[in-house]
Structure 1
Amino acid sequence: MRELACDVAVIGAGTAGIAAHAAATKAGARAVLIERGPGGTTCARVGCMPSKLLIEAARAAHDARGTGPFGVAAGEVRVDGAAVMNRVRHLRDDFVASVREGLDRIPAKLRVSGTARFRDPTTLLVDDHTRISAGAVVVATGSSPSLPPPLRPVADRILTTDTLFELETLPDSLAVLGAGPVGLELAQALARLGVRVTLLDPAGAVGGARDPEIASCAADLIGGEFSLRLGATVETAEAVDDGIRLAWRLDSGEQASGTFARVLAAAGRPPNLSDLDLDAAGVALDEDGLPDFNPRTLQCGTAPIFIAGDANQEHPVLHEAQRQGWIAGGNAARFPQVEAPPPWPAFALVFTDPQIAAIGRAFDEEAAGDWVIGEASFADQGRARAMDRAAGLIRVYAEPDGRLTGAAMVGPGIEHLAHIMVIAIQESWTAATFLDRPFYHPTLEEGLQSAVKAVAERTGGTR
């Protein structure tokens, strides 16, 4: 067995692991990166990028069908499913190749392939070929799609976000289980590409929206493009001919069923921790096998072990995974001295059309009675009307003194408005400070300005 010594061992070469390795190396540590494969990061390979490629194809089809209101006659729109999926894979592979090119710049002697497991807090065994002795360890093993129990009898026929993009062409019909951000994005995209989609979820909201006004608006605007079944719990699945028959129960107690060419499980991605033998690492685990860790330092208890990215489930989005990797890698290199940077504001985007965002403090029914909430509708917003996209809602949350603390939005161009809002929250702006910034006319950003003005009017912050 090969013996390898290092200052920091990083398990996982995804977004968080790559950042952790870079941070540890920059801090002067000898850092080893362990990768089980298939590599290329979740984002580039099966997440952010291929899903956006599919969404953009769907947007093109949708826009081509929607030229009538502008007085532009549209011809027949024909979707070539095989061509759509071929483009998705081709560009996806480019993104993955770019990630791998970066990894190839790490010296081969500092990269190990295989599955790592703890023998003790600072010793790792990689398969049966390498023993690594490290001063500290970063766990950045990522996540994998879950398969709800009712689907397990037909698991070989179920698509997940890890396999969807390998389809040669688009199916005639599809059931999507999970109305969270990923399920909602893919359901709408595939529906716009001509697939008959049914979206099922036991919850009562779409896209993870917690503000009831935003959740209701989003469901109305997006749910009209396919069959949306909220409050639906799938109970059984069986193979029939070339498809799958699902039976589900609604919150009302009503039973329903349907047969679909394919079924996509989009009900979450639990962390990849089961192969690590964390008991041997001596860290405390909760009932789900997740280590107890400090969300600011990312240290697991007092051990020289840090956990970052999807592996800790704290904020399963790329920008947070990258930052967590950088914090964990730096702290591992400096151990036992660790730093605890202040957290970034919460920031979640759903790339549907219209888009959905939640920024900063999440909506809370009980606490909201003490908040100041400013609203603005896109229904009469000038630029949105010009674009024929006049639908949606912005809700901005603030303290009674006018300090902005959070927002929830659904509407056109939300990904850009949300970035303005998250900076305002991070910088602790008041509504008055926010309004003392230039807003060009006519822009969608003026919709956000209007919502903040509503806050200012209630907190005495208008000029």
Structure 2
Amino acid sequence: MTRRRLILAALIALAIAAWFLSGAHDALTLQALQAEQARFRAWLAAEPLVVAGGFFLIYVLMAAVSLPGATLLTVLGGALFGLGWGLLIISFASALGATLAALIARTLAREPLERRFAPQLARINAGIAREGAFYLFTLRLIPLFPFFVINLVMGLTRMRLWTFYWVSQLGMLPGTAVFVNAGRELGSLESLSGILSPGLIGSFALIGLFPWLARGGVALAKRRRLATRFSRPARFDHDIVVIGGGSAGLVASYIAAAVRARVALVERDRLGGDCLNTGCVPSKALIRAARLASEVRGAGRFGVQAGEPEIDFPAVMGHVQRAVQEIEPHDSRERYEGLGVAVMAGEAVLEDPWRVRVTDGAGASRVVTTRHVIIASGARPRVPPLPGLEAIEVLTSDNLWRLEALPERLLVLGGGPIGCELGQAFARLGSRVALVEMGGQLLPREDPEVAAEVGRRLGEEGMALHLGTRALGVVAGKDGGHALEVERFDAEGKPLRETLPFSHLLVAVGRQANVSGMGLEALGVETRGDGTLAVDESLQSVLPNVWACGDVTGPYQLTHASAHQAWHATVNALFGEFKRFRVSYRALPAVTFTAPEVARVGLNEREARERGVAFEVTRYALAELDRAIAEGETEGFIKVLTVPGRDRLLGATIVGEGAGEMLAEFTLAMTHGIGLNKLLGTIHPYPTRSEAVKATAGVWKNAHKPERLLGWLERYFRWRRSGHGERDVRSAAGGRRAEQEAR
């Protein structure tokens, strides 16, 4: 098989070389055509089969080996053969050549292209799995990528070649007709005044309008496909119905109401969702109380003797609930109804893509009609199916806030951001905390040195870390309580089992999207392997009027990511007929609120290596920052990834006190294309932690200083110090004075 691939690759390389060395590409111009027009038409009249057949074969060869110039060849075909014969010849030649290109890609380049373009192929395969031939048809009709790219990429999918051929034949036909017609007009051009002919102007106008018309046609076709399956209402109660009143749903409702769309928001529980009620707000309030306890313990190093703090846990939880209550009005029903949102309490079920049945707590239901539906139903903590787990009350980030007494011995299952944040908080408040993580490091998405820095601090604060340890199940403890049986491997690879006793078990192994109970399965709205709703880059599901945003679709379960997605889902739903916006996560920041904090935007080293992205690393230790030294918080560092030899940011990671606040400047820089040179040229107040950003840019600049120029400057200053420079300057000045006196 390898030998066949080499032979095929050699033949293609020879064909491409012959094409360019022969100068054939230079002949494919309007000027060359017009110069040989009379001779060619005479040849065509004498031997039409030879000329048409030769053109057909050349076109097939160009398309099969992805040579440049297919569009120009299409235009020339219209000029040479006219609209009818030109369209017939080029339509079949382009479809056959595209199919051969797909076959070549499938035979020759499957493995290397899969490695190089894995993210792009994942999106294409998702489209193939959902809509198959119709997906390819839309790519042909609205070329999101050049046709040769579609040929190569589709060749790597599992689509049948016959399906690929006939769909390409149909999908490329309208565009081919437009370009062939433009070529026919150009072929009849005899003078410059012919440029202003209505036919030629119309042909080029049609080329410009075709993508817009094709997009509208595809959208109309999708709507009609829906209409054949469901009964579309004659009129609608709302422009958008949002299901879910968490971060994503609230932002979506706000944006829709702001542009005067009629929007309804359906929530079955409490507005504000996880972030307000069980996530961001209560956890940060708890972390603040725990940090204060830690600061009291460590006050002696600043000369302040305070001793061991006394923890009143019910009062701590009271502080947490007050924080929730004070922020609650921002997400209240009254506020959103004042903005023009129709807020409905109850369960929402889609009867079809346009009808949503809302059932309240008393069992009363009503059906509302809507042009678009946005699913923002969020996620819930994932509880693994461990043996014995059903016999105990498991703590999660949802029910943790009902605790009335401080856990004596807390076992945290999961070493991600939630497990590390809450585990450290309870340890600082006085619980004996152990953490079990199946992976080899904490915070598995971060670089190993980042995780090690956090792990070191957690260990110093008394947490027992069990990394590379797998939970087997809950068993009876020695003192009549409960314990978690775990397994790990020693240095020689032998399995070792032990039991870890606990009074409370906190499960923090991830979150599961809320996708059931809304009628989505019956409508064919699919989920991904991780359980999230499957949507495209504009957040549209397989149903063209059903969208999703937030934790229910991922991939980042962060409040600000949900808000970012909500803007895109709402704007695309309301105005997608005119323009679609793809969601970009390139400059999406994330913060883990441990001590030290971990903040990151863009790529880290692990991700860059996995994606094959070349990068350069610049590091700055916070131990060199004056403000950090003054406050006694010197642990941590800033690590920036840039394009090699350039100051363009690929990502930034900060570990240390105030990392989340310092990250904002790097996020702004990545969002708006600001390089490290401009950050270095920005005045930062002294002494602040923000100076660390400028200092990092200074480290990068120092590593890229112009050595050759500095060498010349060194020679220049040495010459000046020698005294020759001064004498030369004085002599020149004296000469000018003498010249002035002579005048």
Provide TM-score, normalisation by structure 2.
0.58
Distance 1:303 1:251, change over 3 A: farther
Matched ranges for 1:149-160 at <5 A:
149-150=385-386, 153-154=389-390, 156-160=392-396
Is the partner of 1:294 in helix, strand or coil?
Answer: coil
Deviation at 1:434, TM superposition (A): 1.6
Q: Which residue number corresponds to residue 257 of structure 1?
A: 499
**1:381 equivalent in structure 2:** 625
Post-superposition offset of 1:390: 1.4
| Structure-1 residue corresponding to 2:307 | 75
The farther-off stretch of 213-222 and 119-128 is: 119-128
User: Relative to structure 1, is the Cα distance of residues 256 and 412 closer, same or farther in structure 2, using a 3 angstrom cutoff?
Assistant: same
Q: How does 1:357-396 map to 2 (within 5 A)?
A: 357-364=599-606, 365=609, 370-396=614-640
Cα distance, 1:138 vs structure 2: 0.2
Deviation string for 1:335-385 (max 9, x for gaps)?
544530562512110111111011112333356883110011223433212
The alignment-based identity, stated in percent, is 31
**What is the aligned counterpart of 1:99 among 320, 324, 331?**
331
Residues 383-428 of structure 1 show CA distances to partners (whole Å, capped at 9, x for unaligned) of 2122111111211100012211101121111111111111111122
Q: Does 1:112 align with 2:344?
A: yes
- Once the two structures are superposed, residues 109-164 of structure 1 have per-residue CA deviations (whole angstroms, 9 ceiling, x without a partner) of x3322222222222222346122221110000011111111166336511111111
- 2:546 is aligned, of 297, 305, 322, to 305
Q: Secondary structure at the match of 1:270?
A: strand
Matches within 5 A, 1:38-437: 38-100=270-332, 101-105=334-338, 110-127=342-359, 129-150=365-386, 153-154=389-390, 156-225=392-461, 226-238=463-475, 243-252=481-490, 253-295=495-537, 297-301=538-542, 303-340=544-581, 343-344=584-585, 345-364=587-606, 365=609, 370-400=614-644, 401-437=646-682
CA change 1:204–1:102 in 2 (3 A) is: farther
Deviations 1:154-176 (A, max 9, x none): 36511111111111121111011
Structure 1 residue runs without a partner (length 5+):
none
User: Considering only CA atoms, is the larger Rg found in Structure 1 or Structure 2?
Assistant: 2
- The 3-state SS of whatever aligns with 2:389 is helix
Q: Distance in 1 between matches of 2:480 and 2:628?
A: 44
Query: Displacement of 1:93 after TM fit?
Result: 2.7
What residue in structure 1 maps to residue 690 of structure 2?
A: 445
Distance 1:430 1:283 in 2: 42
What's the secondary structure of 1:84's corresponding residue? helix
The amino acid that maps onto 2:351 is R
- Partner letter of residue 474 of structure 2? A
**What SS does structure 2 have at the residue aligned with 1:255?**
strand
Distance (Å, rounded) in 2 between the aligned partners of 1:337 and 1:10? 22
Q: 1:436 to 1:420 in 2, by over 3 A?
A: same
Give the direction of change, closer, same or farther, for the CA distance of 1:242–1:451 in structure 2 (3 Å limit).
farther
Secondary structure at 1:186's aligned position in 2? helix
Cα deviation for residue 51 of structure 1 reads: 0.3
Could you say if the C-alpha distance between residues 193 and 163 of structure 1 is closer, same or farther in structure 2, counting changes exceeding 3 Å? Answer: same
Matches of 1:49 and 1:251, distance apart in 2: 38
Amino acid at match of 1:51: S
Q: Distance in 2 between matches of 1:14 and 1:155?
A: 31
Alpha carbons of structure 1 residues 243 and 450: separation in structure 2 relative to 1, 3 Å: farther
Letter in 2 for 1:144: R
Q: CA deviation at 1:280?
A: 2.7
Separation (CA, whole Å) in 2 of partners of 1:404 and 1:461 = 20
CA gap 1:325/1:156 in 2 versus in 1, 3 angstroms: farther
Judged with a 3 Å threshold, the aligned counterparts in structure 2 of structure 1 residues 215 and 114 are, in CA distance, closer, same or farther, namely same
Change (3 A) 1:433 1:14: same
Equivalent of 1:34 in 240, 258, 266: 266
Structure 2 unmatched runs, 5+: 1-234, 711-743
Preserved contact between residue 28 and residue 333 of structure 1 (Cα < 8 Å): no
Q: Given that residues 154 and 239 in structure 1 are in contact (C-alpha distance below 8 angstroms), is that contact kept between their aligned partners in structure 2? A: no
Q: How far apart are residue 290 of structure 1 and its match?
A: 3.1
Residue 261 of structure 1 deviates from its aligned partner by 0.9
Q: Greater share of strand residues, 1 or 2?
A: 1
Structure with the bigger RCO (C-alpha within 8 Å, sep 6+) is 1
Distance 1:459 1:399, change over 3 A: farther
The answer on 1:13 being equivalent to 2:245 is: yes
Do the aligned partners of 2:472 and 2:487 also contact (CA within 8 Å) in 1?
A: yes
Question: What is the alpha-carbon distance in structure 2 between the residues aligned to residue 155 and residue 266 of structure 1?
Answer: 18
Alignment partners' CA distance in 1, 2:578 and 2:348? 26
- Partner residue, 2:166: none
Instruction: Tell me if the contact between 1:22 and 1:329 (Cα under 8 Å) persists in the aligned partners.
Output: no
Aligned-partner residue type, residue 681 of structure 2: D
Distance 1:95 1:122, change over 3 A: same
On the 8 A contact 2:561/2:588 being kept in 1, the answer is no
Aligned length: 459
Q: Do the aligned partners of 1:300 and 1:306 also contact (CA within 8 Å) in 2?
A: yes
SS at match of 2:605: coil
Instruction: State the shift of 1:263 in Å.
Output: 0.6
SS in 2 for 1:324: helix
| Residues 13-22 or 314-323, more deviating | 314-323
Question: Cα gap change, 1:335/1:443 in structure 2, threshold over 3 Å: closer, same or farther?
Answer: closer
Moved more, 411-420 or 301-310: 301-310
What RMSD in Å do the two structures reach over aligned CA positions?
2.5
Conserved? CA contact 2:380–2:512, under 8 Å: yes
Cα distance between partner residues in 1 of 2:340 and 2:632: 53
Greater alpha carbon shift after TM alignment, 325-334 vs 186-195 = 325-334
Deviates more, 1:389-398 or 1:37-46: 37-46
Which amino acid is 1:174 matched to? L
User: Which residue in 2 is equivalent to 1:456?
Assistant: 701
C-alpha separation between the residues in 2 aligned to 1:451 and 1:255?
46
Counterpart CA distance in 2 for 1:374 and 1:155 is 51
* Preserved contact between residue 680 and residue 698 of structure 2 (Cα < 8 Å): yes
| Aligned mates of 1:277, 1:160 — CA distance in 2 | 27
Cα offsets for 1:75-95 (capped at 9, x unmatched): 341111121112212322332
Q: Residues of 2 paired with 1:305 and 1:369: CA distance?
A: 35
- Cα distance in 1 between the residues matched to 2:566 and 2:308: 48
Aligned equivalents of 2:297 and 2:648: distance in 1? 43
The one-letter code of the counterpart of 2:697 is V
